Amino acid sequence: MLRILDRYLLRELLLSFLAVGVVLLMISIGETVADVLGRVARGKLPADVLFSMIGLRAVDSLNVLLPLAVFLGVLLAYGRLYRDSEMAVLSASGLDVTGLLRPLALLAVPIVILLGCVSFWLAPSAVRLSQSLVEEANRSLLIAGLEAGRFVSLPGQEGVIYVGDMSADGTRFGRIFVENERLAADGTTQIDIVTAETGELYRDTAGEDRYLVLRDGFRVEGRPGQDDFRLLRFARNDLRLPDNDAEDNATYGAKRSAPTPVLWASDDPVQRAELHWRLAPPLSALILALLALPLSRSNPRQPRYASMIVAVLGYIVYANFLALGRSWMIQGKLSFAFGLWWVYLPTLAIAILLIRRGQTLRRPRLRRSAA
């Protein structure tokens, strides 16, 4: 059974954590929506995967949001108690730091367990599913928003495209018209018009570029206002589509989304570093919760967010050291046995030192009387 005081402190911590978590999640979702909508507008993604991509990327962002939400939530909750002099009353009633740790543990331990599930299972699964959605979309002309019988702007280019017939999967079509505009060497605008009876979409052997193969058609190219137009008839004509917007590094993305058992058995530097990186969110949530306890101490006369600024700067340093350690492991500059423990242990030691220091009363200075 929880004491009345424990329930009160836990409620304060939980409300602050939820408030901060919702705000951070809304900010993250807003950035994700802007990015995904931009990719849809450029023809990089089909509109029907918009909400799926937003949801999957929101799951992946929990690894960063939840530890920060715990850190800021504890700072706000306990900081308010110090500013309103409630903590002074509780201390006078016999409440020590151990009494503050109990409700903090009731909040942090479930979040650490949740983060372990997200980091080691849910987030990699979400990344793999989002990659499969992008790869599946890149195999189809539907990614450009094409519909049979409608003129559509070319993604990433000046021009329009029209298809009369299209297969259900968007890889084969009939009666196509493509009008494209580009700048010639002399700075004038050149127009290319291509028509074809049939065609299909395919990828090159490397799997990186997409091409439209057109069959049995005509091509007209020239400059408006000039009489140097050329008419070509072809049996086959391959047109390269704009680059897709897959991951910046497909190989790295595949290694990052690998299942956790694969990471344990791998000797690849990227996958070994990813294993340490997946351990960071649950450990960070626990360490940051302990660190926020002494950092929340403040004097009622101090500015409202003075300690918050110092705490946020400390979090930025901590997060940058984690990212630096990950980069060093990938580059082979840091031993995998060493991992990121060189960041965790000093931070934990600082948190424990600050907690013990806050629990110890300072000795009053004795003033010598003048002779």
**Average pLDDT of 47-70?**
88
Give the pLDDT band (50/70/90) at residue 13: very high
- pLDDT tens digits, one per residue of 219-253: 888 888 777 788 888 898 887 765 544 444 444 45
- pLDDT tens digits, one per residue of 171-226: 788 888 888 887 777 777 888 888 899 888 776 655 556 677 888 999 888 888 77
Rounded to the nearest integer, the mean pLDDT of the chain is 81
Tell me the whole-structure pTM to 2 decimals. Answer: 0.72
Distance separating alpha carbons of residues 69 and 17, to the nearest angstrom: 6
Q: Are strands 230-240 and 172-183 parallel, antiparallel or unpaired?
A: unpaired
CB-neighbour burial class of residue 267 (10 A; exposed 0-12, middle 13-18, buried 19+): exposed
73's tokens: 């939530």
Among 61-65, 137-141, 277-281, 338-342, the least confident range: 137-141
Distance separating alpha carbons of residues 240 and 228, to the nearest angstrom: 25
Buried-state track 145-183, b at ≥16 Cβ within 10 A, e below 16: bbeeeeeeebbeeeeebbbeebeeebeebebbebbbeee
Q: Which of 306, 197, 209 is nearest to 250 (CA)?
A: 209
Distance of CA 371 to the CA centre of its chain: 69
